[in-house]
Every structure is written in structure tokens, then in C-alpha cells.
Amino acid sequence: MEKLVIKGGTRLEGNVVIGGAKNAAVALLPATLLVDGICTISNLPYISDVKISCKILEELGAKVTWNGKNEVTIDARNISSSQAPIDMTSKFRASYYLIGALLGRCHHAIVGLPGGCNLGARPIDQHIKGFEALGATVEICEGKINAHAKDLIGTSIYLDKVSVGATINVMLASVLAKGTTIIENVAKEPHVVDVANFLNSMGADIRGAGTDLIKINGVERLNGNTTYSVVPDQIEAGTFMLAAAATKGNILIKNCIPEHLDCLTAKLIEMGVNVETFNDSIRVYTDKRPNKANITTMPYPGYPTDLQPQIGVALSLADGTSIINEGIWESRFQYTAELNKMGAHIIDQGRSAIFQGITDLYGAPVAATDLRAGAALIIAGIVAHGETSITNIYHIDRGYENIEDKFRSLGANIQRVIEEDIF
């Protein structure tokens, strides 16, 4: 079993370079199944969700060539199967994009129900509603989703919930459909725009990504022979911004898009933390405890749920009492029990939590309860007096490339150690 061991009490200082966005990468890779040619994706984060996505593409018959750690060339012209291996799809959430991509490409998809972080119920009814509206029949049986269609025909779809996954999935299924598809009440996250840009660069006709309505004029085929660079990861950038705030540090976060983080920047300024934005970098610095603040997580451009645990660490150290309302997931406060083991005073009330600010955290053995919770516990361990050990770090490896190297380069004392299981 691997764990991270952190000797805390460090003020983080220095520069960090942000990689490509996990949530864009895991959609772009299945999207290559729609391309009738060879395409190269660069600025890919080298994380387990990406590695497994590439393995699945290979299992489906695509030729996948790694050109170094962060770039891959995919030739999906001759895929041999529309059935994704269940043992692989169950390992991460974004495997659901294989349904839209395979349905669009082959008019048939069998994909295991998606896995991923346990954040409460994670229904995919809006994905299914979209596929069915396009003319597909969708059945769920024995842990698998079986979708098939004679033809996919463009139509109007109104999503009942603003869903990143449903927006991208329906977009994937409709790029090669006959006629025009209009999807309303869509998600506007940067990775939704990134997937639309990728597909358009291959010859798709998608308009409106980044607004509430996306219009897709179906095309006959997508051409390859293009290199596409994944958008910088706004959640990784935000994680380091919050690490600077919590550790009273000074970090220049390079290779990010500051506009994607406007919401966090505004919140940090409200918390008395200094933020300077440049063209493609952000500096965050402070030498004081943060001020208290209240937060409600929302779809983009609101405060992202994927930066909720990380700001929870900063607020647990704030001057005063703060409240976080979780607007997206029903079980996203599991990390608060771990932070309380480190001396935080957080009352978990289900969909909201009360953070009574304290001045110091103390090292303790804790467990990453999900991906972003794991990142939050690393920040807490760096702030805390004494030693923190974090187990279940496979969650963290799903979404952050070289996280301990990046924190170490900022001054953190953090080591990955392999511990033999006692039982």
C-alpha cells in the first residue's frame, strides 16, 4: 500500500506549472473514436484516468502511440469492438463518455456502469434522455449500459440538470448524427468548450459551447491529422492557489487561464489573500490567516465543487466561522471528518458544513476519501505541525500528475512511501 507522508509547518513558495485538464482529457480521448483519421493529443496529464482511457481505446482496436508522457497519437480508423471492458470502465467516472462516442461512431455501445469518486448518487439519466432523444434505445442490465440505434437523428434536448457529463456525452453522440441537434441548459465548464473545440478542429460543426445552448449540425465524417492541446487544468491551478492561501505562502501558478478561475480569485480576495493575474499565470500570496467566507458550489462560472475540499482547509484555518453549501454533490464533506482528526472544528450537516476557524492543525494519520479530498489533505498536512500520513492515495493519482514532486518543488517535505499491508 502506498501512502504520502508529510512533515508539516511549511510556507509554500516558488513556481508551479499546471498540466492539461483531467476532465477535458478523459472526454477528448473517447472523442477520438469519432475521428476518421489519425489525431494527436498533447498537454495530456499523465494520470491514471488518462492511462486507463488509452488502454480502453486499445482494447477497442485503436492504435495508441505515446510520444512521451504527455502526448499520444491515436488511430481509431479500424476499431474492432463497440464493447468496452467492464473491469476498466468501472475504475473511473468518465468512462461514460465511451457511450456517446461509440454510439456516434458505431451506433452501438456496451459500457459498464461508471465508477469514480463516491460523492453520493451520481445518476446518468440526463445522458440517457439525450441518447434516447437522438433515436437510441438504452438498456441497463447486469451492470452494463447497452445503447443502440439504427440512425441517430438530430433533435432538441432540454437537460433537466446542468450536467457536464450529459452535455459532453450528448454532444459526442450527435456530431455525426443526421441533421441538427440543439441542447439547452447545458454546462459551460472550460472542458465542455475544449471538447467542442477539439471536435470542430476535426471538422465538426458545433456552435455555442460555453453558453447555455449548444447547436450541433451533424457532419458526415471527422478528419484527423491534427494535433490538439488539452486546456490547462483549472482545478489543479485552483488547488495550488488554495495551497498558497492555506500555508500563508507565495506561489506563481504558471500555464493556466486566469479567467477560468475568476470565481476563486474573487473569493480569495474576499478572504484577504493577495491575487495577481497575468496573461497565463496567477500569483497568490499572503502572510496572514484568511478571513472567514461563505461559499456555495455551483456549475461554472460559479464556485466549483471540485475546489470545495481545498478551500475547506483554508477556511478551517480562517479568522471566524464560515459556511460551505455544497450545491452539486450530496456526499462531498467526507473529508471534514479527516480534517477534524487534525484538529479542525468542522460540523458536517450533510449538504452544508460549518467551519469554526482555528489557528493550528496537527499532523495525524488520515485517508483520502476521494480525489479532491486527497488534494485537500495534502494541503492540510503541509500546514499542520508534525507528521501527517495519507492513505488511499490512488484517488489522488487518478487526477494529479506528480503531485508530490510539484509540492516538493514549492518547499513541502512530502514523500511517497510503500508500506507492506499488515493483514
353 is a contact residue toward ligand UD1 (CB under 6 A): no
Is 256 assigned a catalytic role? Answer: no
CA-to-CA distance for 107 and 147, rounded, in angstroms?
8
- Residue nearer to ligand UD1 on the CB measure, 122 or 385: 122
# residues near ligand UD1 by CB under 6 A: 20
In angstroms, what is the minimal distance from the CB of 168 to ligand UD1?
8
What is the residue whose three cell numbers read 494527436? 40
Note whether 124 and 96 are within 8 A (CB): yes
308 is a contact residue toward ligand UD1 (CB under 6 A): no
Among 166, 175, 176, 353, binds ligand UD1 (CB under 6 A): 166
6 is a contact residue toward ligand UD1 (CB under 6 A): no
111 is a contact residue toward ligand UD1 (CB under 6 A): no
Note whether 355 and 335 are within 8 A (CB): no
- Residue nearer to ligand UD1 on the CB measure, 97 or 240: 97
In angstroms, what is the minimal distance from the CB of 297 to ligand UD1?
8
163 is a contact residue toward ligand UD1 (CB under 6 A): yes
In angstroms, what is the minimal distance from the CB of 206 to ligand UD1?
18
Q: Which amino acid is at 339?
A: L
Q: Which amino acid is at 392?
A: N
CA-to-CA distance for 252 and 284, rounded, in angstroms?
7
Helix, strand, coil abundance in the chain, percent, nearest 5: 35, 30, 35
- Using Cβ positions, the residue closest to ligand UD1 within the complex turns out to be 165
Residues 7-36, one symbol each (x = binds ligand UD1 by CB under 6 A, - = not), give: ----------------x--x----------
Q: Which amino acid is at 298?
A: M
CA-to-CA distance for 3 and 368, rounded, in angstroms?
10
Pinpoint the alpha helices (H) of 329-423: 334-341, 371-383, 394-397, 403-409
Q: List all residues 6 or more positions away from 179 whose beta carbon is below 8 Å from its beta carbon.
A: 153, 154, 155, 217, 218
123 is a contact residue toward ligand UD1 (CB under 6 A): yes
Per the residue annotation, which of 54, 117, 256, 263 is the catalytic one?
117
Strand partners, 137: 148
Strands 38-42 and 226-229: parallel
- Residue nearer to ligand UD1 on the CB measure, 47 or 342: 47
350 is a contact residue toward ligand UD1 (CB under 6 A): no
Among 8, 112, 165, 258, binds ligand UD1 (CB under 6 A): 165
Note whether 195 and 31 are within 8 A (CB): yes
In angstroms, what is the minimal distance from the CB of 119 to ligand UD1?
7
Among 164, 193, 195, 379, binds ligand UD1 (CB under 6 A): 164
Catalytic residues: 117
Provide the binding-site residues for ligand UD1, judged by CB under 6 A. 23, 26, 93-94, 122-127, 161, 163-166, 187, 305-306, 328-329
